Structure 1
Amino acid sequence: MRADIFLAENGYAKSREEAKRLIASGGVVVNGKTLTKPSSQIDGETPPEILITAERSKYVSRGGLKLEKAIDVLGLDPAGADAVDIGASTGGFTDCLLKHGARRVRAVDVGRSQLDGTLKNDPRVISYEGMNARYIGPEDIGGKCTLAVCDVSFISLALIFPAVRRILEPDGVFAALIKPQFEAGRANIGKNGIVRSRAVHAEVISRVLSDATVNGLHCRALTVSPIEGGDGNREYVAVFDGGVTCGTISDSLIRRVTEGTLDSVFASGRGQYNDLT
């Protein structure tokens, strides 16, 4: 059996994604030999001696750590929420929401058979597979939500905002991962798909926040993701209010976040800066 499948199915990893990460870090030793590939074979008939030396994620995927920062630093509160996870994939955001008290999570993804088995079997989770979030409405997912979260790839958030507005209660809250590599345009993407220019990062964020405002979503807080994306790109987490018109986050403050002199910024009246200087 493939090593990543064996580890996930036998409780050594929370998901195949986590198993792959553990193997890639050199943190899985089977019968005294360090595994180097997820496709390595493990004989399930003879009980192997398995040692996990790498640190395991607290969520089914590392994506949960990104949303966790919005909770810990930006004041996002999932407790009691009826939530929708757009671009759920393995379920890192869904897992994070549940661990922080969400009442229900509707996990939406255009793909199929990606959601971690523990989440798929959790009665608090409803999985909507093969569903393009760009076109969803409340009638597609059993009604509106009080909280929506989003981690999507290969699409601009500008195309997601109208759907978010449709499914979100008037006073709901939205948290999204901003990925410059899918917002900047090909001319700004360098080798290996990395957007290195911090000026481009700032331009992308400003445009995303403006697009959100047009759709009635007002950014109340912004922070740097605590970990890079899987491709090595720096990413950002933003929290939006659906029913409260808050002050704006200035371009100068956005630049300070992208340049690394501020970790987090808040719209006027919503909090205070978290300064790194």
Structure 2
Amino acid sequence: MIAVEMQSQVVMRLDKYLVDEGYFESRNRALEAIKSGSVTVDKKRVKPSTRVDHNSHIEIADEKFFVSRAGRKLDNFLAEYTMELNDKKALDIGSSTGGFAQILLERGVSSLTCVDVGSDQLHFSLREDSRVSLYEGQDIRDFEVKEEFEVITCDISFISILQVIDDIDRFTKASSDIIILYKPQFEVGRDIRRDSRGVVQDLDAIDKKRREFEAKARLLDWQLKYQSPSKIRGKEGNQEYLYHFQKSK
């Protein structure tokens, strides 16, 4: 537990103060910590908008740092389901800030190839790791490298996983482990009913699309080893799912 001592007598929002003083690197990270109860004021859970001053007793739980929410999702998944990643050659598709990449590196992969259509997103702490090869501004469907990988992870948004699944398979070999973060909100189509936040309301449509995805995986000789609902939902509140497949041949 970290006890925070405010030096200034200025009254300000809790989330802004924590970022300004360097306890969190962004407002979003401070918001997550406050909402999860990891930050308390005067021994009480509070809202991010709570006003604090030099009389406020602020405490922060000394918990693990994640570069993004995706890292928490994968970390939770691997906590409930054991996989051996040490000394394996890995490919991370849709690396973005590096949530999945962080966990793969922490679990000892020997090398990690990160591919993302965006640029300047990967957290600086991961860029400095000598095991990382970063390909930015690169669509996996156009990506070419003469390598096969023992571990492949995929966390993509705004397009269906079915649009890239054949390209994921291009980089597998027998016994490759494949971890997919499946996001129904990008699978069911724009015409499917959603609430005001963007949460998909048609559960039948979600089930149908998941079955289609699982059927396609079988056609590629991906053996389903384990799947579980993510303990952390998508940003809008959609339930997402983590899958572990193994290439059978």
> Partner of 1:257 in structure 2?
none
> Partner of 1:188 in structure 2?
192
Q: CA deviation at 1:100?
A: 1.5
For 1:166 and 1:5, how far apart are their aligned partners in 2? 45
Q: Which amino acid aligns with 1:80?
A: D
Query: Kindly tell me: are residues 121 and 190 of structure 1, through their superposed partners in 2, closer, same or farther at Cα, counting changes over 3 Å?
Result: same
1:66 maps to which of 70, 73, 76: 73
Q: CA deviation at 1:107?
A: 1.4
For these two proteins, the number of residue pairs brought into alignment is 224
> Partner of 1:13 in structure 2?
24
For 1:138 and 1:177, how far apart are their aligned partners in 2? 23
1:210 maps to which of 189, 212, 215: 215
Query: Kindly tell me: are residues 93 and 213 of structure 1, through their superposed partners in 2, closer, same or farther at Cα, counting changes over 3 Å?
Result: same
Pairing 1:114-193 to 2, within 5 Å after superposition: 114-139=121-146, 143-191=147-195, 192-193=197-198
> Partner of 2:244 in structure 1?
239
User: In percent, how many aligned pairs have the same letter?
Assistant: 32
Q: CA deviation at 1:63?
A: 1.0
> Partner of 1:112 in structure 2?
119
What do residues 212-252 of structure 1 show as CA deviations (whole Å, max 9, x unaligned)?
A: 222332322111101101111100000111126xxxxxxxx
> Is the 1:15–1:116 Cα contact (8 Å) retained in structure 2?
no
RMSD across aligned positions (CA): 3.2
Q: CA deviation at 1:8?
A: 7.5
Q: CA deviation at 1:19?
A: 4.6
Q: Select the structure that is richer in helix.
A: 1
Structure 1: gaps of 5 or more residues: 37-49, 245-277
3-state DSSP of counterpart to 2:66:
coil
2:84 maps to which of 77, 81, 84: 77
> Partner of 2:205 in structure 1?
200
Structure 2: gaps of 5 or more residues: 1-13, 42-46, 50-56
For 2:24 and 2:169, how far apart are their aligned partners in 1? 36
For 1:103 and 1:11, how far apart are their aligned partners in 2? 32
For 2:232 and 2:74, how far apart are their aligned partners in 1? 11
> Partner of 2:109 in structure 1?
102
For 1:9 and 1:102, how far apart are their aligned partners in 2? 35
> Is the 2:40–2:59 Cα contact (8 Å) retained in structure 1?
yes
What do residues 39-93 of structure 1 show as CA deviations (whole Å, max 9, x unaligned)?
A: xxxxxxxxxxx96647755321121122123323333322221111111111110
Query: Kindly tell me: are residues 51 and 106 of structure 1, through their superposed partners in 2, closer, same or farther at Cα, counting changes over 3 Å?
Result: farther
For 1:145 and 1:113, how far apart are their aligned partners in 2? 24
> Where does structure 1 differ by over 4 angstroms across 4 or more consecutive aligned residues?
3-11, 14-17, 22-29, 54-57
For 2:150 and 2:20, how far apart are their aligned partners in 1? 34
Q: TM-score, normalised by structure 1?
A: 0.69
2:100 maps to which of 93, 112, 117: 93
> Is the 1:177–1:237 Cα contact (8 Å) retained in structure 2?
yes
